Amino acid sequence: QVQLVESGGGLVQAGGSLRLSCEASGRTFSNYAMGWFRQAPGKEREFVAAISWSGSSTYYADSVEGRFSISRDNEKRTVYLQMNSLKPEDTAVYYCGQDRSIRRRPVTTTVTDYNYWGQGTQVTVSS
Protein backbone atom coordinates (compact mmCIF):
# COMPACT_ATOMS: atom_id res chain seq x y z
CA GLN A 1 0.00 0.00 0.00
CA VAL A 2 1.51 3.29 -1.12
CA GLN A 3 1.10 6.30 1.14
CA LEU A 4 2.20 9.83 0.32
CA VAL A 5 2.26 12.49 3.02
CA GLU A 6 2.77 16.14 2.09
CA SER A 7 3.89 18.90 4.41
CA GLY A 8 5.18 22.46 4.25
CA GLY A 9 2.22 24.44 3.02
CA GLY A 10 1.06 27.66 4.61
CA LEU A 11 0.31 31.35 4.21
CA VAL A 12 2.98 33.55 2.66
CA GLN A 13 3.13 37.04 1.17
CA ALA A 14 3.68 37.56 -2.52
CA GLY A 15 7.38 37.28 -3.32
CA GLY A 16 7.98 34.86 -0.49
CA SER A 17 9.09 31.23 -0.50
CA LEU A 18 7.86 27.86 0.72
CA ARG A 19 9.28 24.35 0.54
CA LEU A 20 6.90 21.43 0.21
CA SER A 21 7.88 17.89 1.12
CA CYS A 22 6.26 14.57 0.26
CA GLU A 23 7.35 11.39 2.01
CA ALA A 24 6.42 8.09 0.43
CA SER A 25 6.00 4.59 1.78
CA GLY A 26 5.08 1.34 0.09
CA ARG A 27 6.60 0.60 -3.32
CA THR A 28 10.30 1.01 -4.04
CA PHE A 29 10.43 4.79 -4.21
CA SER A 30 13.45 4.99 -6.50
CA ASN A 31 11.59 3.12 -9.28
CA TYR A 32 8.92 5.76 -9.88
CA ALA A 33 8.73 9.28 -11.20
CA MET A 34 7.10 11.78 -8.88
CA GLY A 35 5.06 14.85 -9.66
CA TRP A 36 3.57 17.89 -8.00
CA PHE A 37 0.15 19.10 -9.08
CA ARG A 38 -2.15 21.80 -7.74
CA GLN A 39 -5.85 22.49 -7.67
CA ALA A 40 -7.47 25.86 -7.08
CA PRO A 41 -11.15 26.20 -6.11
CA GLY A 42 -13.41 25.54 -9.09
CA LYS A 43 -10.53 24.45 -11.30
CA GLU A 44 -9.14 21.12 -12.45
CA ARG A 45 -5.97 19.65 -11.01
CA GLU A 46 -3.01 20.91 -13.04
CA PHE A 47 0.58 19.87 -13.51
CA VAL A 48 3.27 21.85 -11.72
CA ALA A 49 6.51 19.85 -11.82
CA ALA A 50 7.79 16.31 -12.23
CA ILE A 51 11.04 14.46 -11.68
CA SER A 52 12.25 11.18 -13.11
CA TRP A 53 12.80 8.09 -10.98
CA SER A 54 16.55 8.69 -10.97
CA GLY A 55 16.27 12.44 -10.44
CA SER A 56 18.20 13.16 -13.63
CA SER A 57 15.28 14.81 -15.47
CA THR A 58 12.89 17.50 -14.33
CA TYR A 59 9.91 19.18 -16.02
CA TYR A 60 7.97 22.30 -15.14
CA ALA A 61 4.77 24.02 -16.14
CA ASP A 62 5.43 27.27 -17.98
CA SER A 63 3.73 29.19 -15.18
CA VAL A 64 6.33 28.10 -12.59
CA GLU A 65 9.46 27.68 -14.72
CA GLY A 66 12.34 29.59 -13.15
CA ARG A 67 10.55 30.05 -9.82
CA PHE A 68 9.95 26.48 -8.61
CA SER A 69 12.42 23.62 -8.29
CA ILE A 70 11.65 19.93 -7.81
CA SER A 71 14.13 17.50 -6.28
CA ARG A 72 14.16 14.09 -4.64
CA ASP A 73 16.13 12.12 -2.06
CA ASN A 74 15.66 8.44 -2.80
CA GLU A 75 17.28 7.37 0.46
CA LYS A 76 14.76 9.45 2.41
CA ARG A 77 11.92 8.46 0.03
CA THR A 78 11.03 12.12 -0.24
CA VAL A 79 10.32 14.56 -3.05
CA TYR A 80 10.53 18.31 -2.56
CA LEU A 81 9.14 21.40 -4.23
CA GLN A 82 10.99 24.62 -3.55
CA MET A 83 8.74 27.55 -4.43
CA ASN A 84 10.26 31.02 -4.74
CA SER A 85 8.86 34.36 -5.88
CA LEU A 86 5.37 33.18 -5.06
CA LYS A 87 2.41 34.94 -6.64
CA PRO A 88 -1.24 35.11 -5.55
CA GLU A 89 -2.13 32.94 -8.55
CA ASP A 90 -0.04 30.13 -7.03
CA THR A 91 -2.69 29.78 -4.32
CA ALA A 92 -4.05 26.21 -4.40
CA VAL A 93 -3.98 22.85 -2.71
CA TYR A 94 -0.75 21.14 -3.75
CA TYR A 95 -0.64 17.37 -4.22
CA CYS A 96 2.24 15.03 -4.81
CA GLY A 97 1.64 12.04 -7.01
CA GLN A 98 3.51 8.84 -7.86
CA ASP A 99 3.62 7.51 -11.44
CA ARG A 100 1.66 4.32 -12.00
CA SER A 101 4.41 2.90 -14.28
CA ILE A 102 7.83 1.72 -13.20
CA ARG A 103 10.76 3.71 -14.60
CA ARG A 104 8.68 5.42 -17.28
CA ARG A 105 10.56 7.33 -19.97
CA PRO A 106 10.08 10.14 -20.62
CA VAL A 107 8.53 11.52 -17.45
CA THR A 108 4.82 12.15 -17.80
CA THR A 109 3.01 15.37 -16.94
CA THR A 110 -0.48 13.87 -17.35
CA VAL A 111 -2.48 13.72 -14.14
CA THR A 112 -4.12 10.39 -15.01
CA ASP A 113 -0.71 8.72 -15.30
CA TYR A 114 -0.29 9.17 -11.54
CA ASN A 115 -2.27 6.67 -9.48
CA TYR A 116 -1.21 7.46 -5.92
CA TRP A 117 -1.79 10.83 -4.28
CA GLY A 118 -1.16 12.53 -0.99
CA GLN A 119 -3.83 14.30 1.02
CA GLY A 120 -2.75 17.72 -0.25
CA THR A 121 -1.31 20.77 1.47
CA GLN A 122 -2.77 24.27 1.22
CA VAL A 123 -0.60 27.07 -0.14
CA THR A 124 -2.03 30.57 0.15
CA VAL A 125 -0.20 33.58 -1.25
CA SER A 126 -1.46 36.99 -0.17
CA SER A 127 -1.00 40.11 -2.28
- What's the pLDDT tens digit per position in 80-97? 999 999 999 999 999 999
The pLDDT value given to residue 105? 86
Distance CA 127, CA 31 (A): 40
Q: Give the model's confidence band at 20: pLDDT under 50 very low, under 70 low, under 90 confident, else very high.
A: very high
Single out the residue of 66, 39, 61 nearest to residue 50, CA to CA.
Answer: 61
The pLDDT value given to residue 29? 95
Convert the pLDDT of each residue in 33-74 to its tens digit. Answer: 999 999 999 999 999 999 999 999 999 999 999 999 999 999
The pLDDT value given to residue 100? 96
Cβ proximity of 103 and 91 under 8 Å: no
